[in-house]
Structure 1
Amino acid sequence: MLVAAAVCPCPPLLVPEVASGAAHELDSARSACTDAIGVLAAARPDLLVVVGPAGPEGDGPHPQGARGSFRDFGVDLDVSLGPGPEASAPDRELPPSLAVAGWLLGRTGWSAAPVEGLGVGETLTAERCVQTGRELAARADRVALLVMGDASACRTVKAPGYLDERAAGFDAEIARALATADVAALRALDENLARELKAAGRAPWQVLAGAAESATPSGELLHEDAPYGVGYLVAAWS
C-alpha cells in the first residue's frame, strides 16, 4: 500500500556540477526536493520505488545499486540508485531521470528502506500507467514512491519547446492536482496535450495516480517555478 510519495523534477541541472556557474538558480528546487524526500523517510516505508521517464519506449526496472552518470552532460560524475554495492553485471545505465533521483537520494543520505527504480516510457498509455502504479503499491505493506518528471517545456520563447500558450494552464492544473493529492485529475491527464507540451512527467504522475487509488493521502506543493521555460514542481503526499 502506498504510504507516501514525493514528486520532483528531473533536469540534470539539479546537480550542481552539471549546472556549474548557474547552480544557485535551482537552490530552492533542491531544498524542496530534500524536504519531499524527508517526508518519504518519515513514513517508514518497507520499499521505495523511484519512477521516472525513460524515453519513448521506456527501459524497465533497475535494482538497488544500479549505476548512472552525467558524462553525457560533460561531467565526470557517477551515481547509484540507493546505497549499497553496485548491482552485479548491470546491462544498462540509469536513464537521466533516475540518475538525478540517485543523486538526490545520495545527497539526503537515504537509508530508510530498500530502493528500486522503474523507467517508464513517455508514450505509455494512461491505462497502463495506472495499472503499473497499482502493481507497485502492492509490492509491500508500506510502499513509498519518488516520482521524477518535469512539467511542460513550452513556457517561454526560449524554452526547449518554444512558447505554447496552453503550457501555463496545463502546469497550473498539475500543480493543483499535486497540492491536493487529486488522483482523479492526474489519471485524466490528456496524453496528447502532454506530449505536445513536452511534459515528461505525465506518465510517472499517472503511475502515482494508480498507486494512490486505494490510499487517501494529503498533498502539499513545496515548490513551483519555470526556469528556462520548463515547469518544475515539487510535492509531497503522506
Structure 2
Amino acid sequence: MIVRAAVVPYPPLLVPELVVADVPEVAGVRRACVAAARRLAAGSRRWIAVAPGFGEVAGDAVGTFAGFGADVAVRLNEDTEGDLDPDLPLPVLIAGWLREQAGVRDVSIQLVPPGATSEQCRALGGHLADSSNDPIGLLVLGDGSPKHGERAPGRPDARAGEFDNTVQKALRDADAAALLALDPELAADLGAEGRPAWQVLAGLPGEWRCVTSELMVPFGVAYHVAVWDPVQP
C-alpha cells in the first residue's frame, strides 16, 4: 500500500562530495530533495523507487559515485552489504543516497524504460500500489528538461518552459490526468527523462493531494520536487 509519494530529481550535485564549491543554487536543490525524502520516510521506512532505465537492480546492491568524481558508497538496504556494483545507474545511486539521508531501512528499484507508453506507466503505478499490504513510500526520480535558456547544458529549446511549467502545475494540483497527458515524444525531444516515472505516479489509484511542490531551474535544467499524500475518506 502506497502511503505517500515524493518526486525528486537525480543530479549528482545532490551529493556534497561531488560539488567543489558551496553554490547556493545547488544547496537549495539538495535541501528540497532531502526534505522531501524525510517527509517520505515519516510515512514508511520501506520505499519503492521508480526511475527511468532498463533491467533489474538487486535489493542488496551497493554502488559508488566514483564514476562521478568521489568514491561515496551507497546501499539500498541498511541490513546488507552486498557486492559492489560499479555500474549502478545514477538514479539508483541517488535513491540509495536519499535512503541514507532519510534513515529508511530499504529501497527497492523499479526501472521504467524511457520509451514506455503513458498507459504502460499508468498500469505500473496501479500494480505497485497493490504489491504489498505494508505501508510503502513511493520515491519518484525524474529530471525535467535540460534545455532552459542560455545556461542550458545543450541547445536551448523554447518549448522547455511551457513543458516544465505544465509538469509543475500537475504536480502541485496532484492532477494525474495532466501527468498522463504529457506527450512522450515531446518529453524525449526536450530531454525530460522524468516523464515515465511521473506517469507511474499518476497511475496510483485513489485521490491524492499535494503537500509541497517546487520547480527549480539552476544551470538551465528543470528539477521538480513534490510530495503527495492520499486524501483520506
TM-score normalised over the length of structure 2: 0.90
Equivalent position to 2:178, from 154, 160, 185: 185
> Equivalences for 1:54-133 in 2 at 5 Å?
54=53, 58-60=54-56, 62-87=57-82, 93-111=87-105, 114-133=106-125
Deviation at 1:76, TM superposition (A): 1.6
Unaligned stretches of 5+ in structure 1?
none
2:208 corresponds in structure 1 to 217
2:148 corresponds in structure 1 to 155
Unaligned stretches of 5+ in structure 2?
none
Q: Describe the SS at the equivalent of 1:175.
A: helix
2:36 corresponds in structure 1 to 36
1:53 corresponds in structure 2 to 52
Identical aligned residues as a percent: 40
Deviation at 1:101, TM superposition (A): 1.6
Cα distance change, pair 6–72 in 1 and its aligned pair in 2 (3 A): same
Provide runs of 4+ in structure 1 moved above 4 Å.
89-92
Q: Describe the SS at the equivalent of 2:208.
A: coil
Deviation at 1:93, TM superposition (A): 3.9
Deviation at 1:94, TM superposition (A): 2.5
Deviation at 1:90, TM superposition (A): 7.3
Deviation at 1:24, TM superposition (A): 4.3
* Aligned-CA RMSD value: 1.9
1:207 corresponds in structure 2 to 200
State the distance in 1 between where 2:58 and 2:214 align: 29
Q: Describe the SS at the equivalent of 1:195.
A: helix
Q: Describe the SS at the equivalent of 1:20.
A: coil
* Paired amino acid for 1:51: V
Are the aligned partners of 2:61 and 2:85 in contact in 1 as well (CA < 8 Å)?
no
Q: Describe the SS at the equivalent of 2:198.
A: helix
Deviation at 1:22, TM superposition (A): 4.7
1:236 corresponds in structure 2 to 227
Deviation at 1:12, TM superposition (A): 1.0
TM-score normalised over the length of structure 1: 0.88
Are the aligned partners of 1:131 and 1:207 in contact in 2 as well (CA < 8 Å)?
yes
State the distance in 2 between where 1:99 and 1:172 align: 27
State the distance in 2 between where 1:219 and 1:135 align: 22
Are the aligned partners of 1:151 and 1:199 in contact in 2 as well (CA < 8 Å)?
yes
Are the aligned partners of 1:186 and 1:205 in contact in 2 as well (CA < 8 Å)?
yes
Greater displacement, 148-157 / 90-99? 90-99
State the distance in 1 between where 2:17 and 2:207 align: 38
